[in-house]
Homo-oligomer: A and B are copies of this chain.
Amino acid sequence: MSEESAPGPKESPLAARQAGSREVWKKGGRLLSVLLAVNVLLLACTLISGGAFNKVAVYDTDVFALLTTMMLLASLWILFYLLRTVRCPDAVPYRDAHAGPVWLRGGLVLFGICTLVMDVFKTGYYSSFFECQSAIKILHPLTQAVFVVVQTYFLWVSSKDCIHVHLDLTRCGLMFTLTTNLAIWMAAVVDESVHQTHSYDSSHSNASHLHLAPDRESGSSVGGDCSCNTAICQIFQQGYFYLYPFNIEYSLFASTMLYVMWKNVGRLLASSTHSHGHTPSRVSLFRETLFGGPILGLMLFVVGLAVFIIYEVQVSGEGGRTQQALVIYYSFNIICLGLMTLVSLSGSVIYRFDRRAMDHHKNPTRTLDVALLMGAALGQYVISYYSIVAVVVGTPRDLLGVLNLAHALLMIAQHTFQNVFIIESLHRGPPGAEPHDTTPKEPCHGLTFANVDALHTLPACPPTPRVVGTNPVGPQEAMAIILAPRGHWRRRCLKDISLFLLLCNVILWIMPAFGARPHFSNTVEVDFYGYSLWAAIVNICLPFGIFYRMHAVSSLLEVYVLS
């Protein structure tokens, strides 16, 4: 809820005057929808967290019923919105060019398809013992499938809208849909954590620790006396647990797009043709790298996959080889994180010699990207700091402890420097826009005049129109090459760096997303904090860490295209 009453440089003054009477106080409308969202979200959060604890008398049917209701209501609102905007084209006078870029929408569709497959598996799983199951458990994945289809279509066509009718209703509807996605995300994270804990429980069945929800899986989740014994049922169950990460990502992608739409409700833009030349040149997309980055990244990716498979085989096999698996896993991670830290740092160093102007334009999508990168990194920060304290304060210091410490420290360094690099990259202007070109342009076109007389005291504004117009590819490219020949190797370096980081983030995403949990194989933290506390920390924070990798990949793709 930041103060944004001063319209940004892209907002149109005439439109602002006309709209002045229509909405007296923007924050009031926002406040209303945020209050609705907070209350619905807290109710969902209470039920979901209550349902996760085995001793608490909240059943997962309650949670399913709530989620199904929310998804139905959200779908109805979306259909209402689509009908209204189709029948009244004046409702959306402006479109935000930064919102819903094509890779975000593409990712949404991809994850949406995976979620649909997961819903099929879930329906199949629960249908296997239909007799002793409440109907809501089969209704829930079916409703989710409908919701995913409706919402994906809605976000594909409407994510750039700046709507100007029924402002309060639209804000509330968007916030409610956002809340629904967050509730689905929470439910998925909780379900996955319970599954993880159950796996740990069955593999360490002689341990007498306290568990978060040890027999929910075999008890209430399956519902009564039935169990999953047939082969097809087992496949369905395995399958839908492997597809959870995609469902989690789908919900988060949809949430970010809905948030940007919510910020854009009632927003006034000067004209929809001002796209700042951020559209990439399709021709040069894949021929401007030095090939060093992608090749090194691909090598690390392949080695990482091998390490991951070895780790999984050795840890899940019978005992004695966990130690060896952990040494291999940590060694690979330390090398990978160390390289990524160095590469991010060199990227920041290159920016010190870069003369491109900073892009100061208002851009809710970018603001959200930055906030998400910083916020999601907190998850891995927390895990790392708890690891560091456990290793440093704990008494036994062996090879594994040293590796763990190095891993945690490098994890912090890597997240920090990668965030600095990505955030700095996202704030650079388009390539070729050297500061001597843009600096006098910005204060003239994008300035606020507290006093109208002050205008005449300013130096004359250059009357040149923006080169970065509707056709940004040709002249921009040419200018960049002619004016700044040295800039070209910097651009290539930056593209290499972003591709390398992208590939590394993918492999570091695959490992935790598909079940590597050195946090529990390694006994240092479990012994130091006790199982229940450490499981709570890891299960709450790791999903954020996984989301961070995913989000870093999409941001690095943007950096690659823009640099």
Contacts and interface: CB of A to CB of B under 8 A. Distances in A.
Interface of A: 1-14, 16-17, 20, 24-25, 27-28, 31, 34-35, 38-39, 42-43, 45-47, 50, 53, 55-58, 62, 210, 270, 358, 360-364, 366-367, 370-371, 374, 378, 381-382, 385-386, 388-389, 393-394, 412, 416, 419-420, 423-424, 427, 439, 443-452, 454-455, 457-458, 461, 528-530, 533
Contact of A13 (B362, B388, B420, B454): B454
Contacts of A8: 3, 5-6, 448
Contacts of A7: 6, 447-448
Given A452-B455, A530-B56, A50 B445 contact: no
A366 B1 CA distance: 11
B443 A450 contact: no
B13 A448 contact: yes
A447 B17 CA distance: 9
B455 A455 contact: yes
Contact of A42 (B11, B56, B381): B381
B358 A25 contact: yes
Contact of A47 (B10, B364, B389, B443): B389
B58 A393 contact: yes
Contacts of A58: 389, 393
Contact of A444 (B6, B25, B381, B452): B452
B416 A386 contact: no
A497 to B, nearest CB: 18
A443 B13 contact: yes
Contacts of A270: 450-451
A2 B5 contact: no
Contacts of A388: 46
Given A47-B389, A210-B210, 10 more contacts: A3-B367, A5-B8, A6-B8, A12-B450, A27-B427, A39-B416, A58-B389, A447-B448, A452-B455, A455-B455
A385 B42 contact: yes
Contacts of A35: 416, 419-420
A6 to B, nearest CB: 4
Number of copies: 2
Given A24-B358, A39-B412, A447 B447 contact: no
A5 B296 CA distance: 38
Nearest to A445: B450
Contacts of A412: 39
B452 A20 contact: no
Given A13-B454, A427-B27, A374 B1 contact: yes
B38 A381 contact: yes
Given A56-B528, A56-B530, A6 B3 contact: no
Name A's interface SS. helix
B362 A6 contact: yes
A50 B529 contact: yes
Contacts of A10: 450
Nearest to A416: B35
Given A5-B8, A46-B386, A367-B2, A420 B24 contact: no
A62 to B, nearest CB: 7
Contacts of A446: 6, 448, 450
A422 to B, nearest CB: 11
A9 B389 contact: no
A230 B382 CA distance: 42
Contact of A46 (B17, B31, B366, B389): B389
19 contacts: A1-B370, A3-B363, A5-B9, A6-B9, A6-B446, A14-B458, A17-B443, A25-B358, A27-B427, A35-B419, A39-B416, A42-B382, A45-B382, A55-B530, A445-B450, A446-B450, A447-B448, A447-B449, A452-B461
Contacts of A53: 529-530, 533
A61 to B, nearest CB: 12
A14 B455 CA distance: 10
Nearest to A62: B393
A31 B20 CA distance: 34
Contact of A367 (B1, B11, B367): B1
A364 B53 CA distance: 41
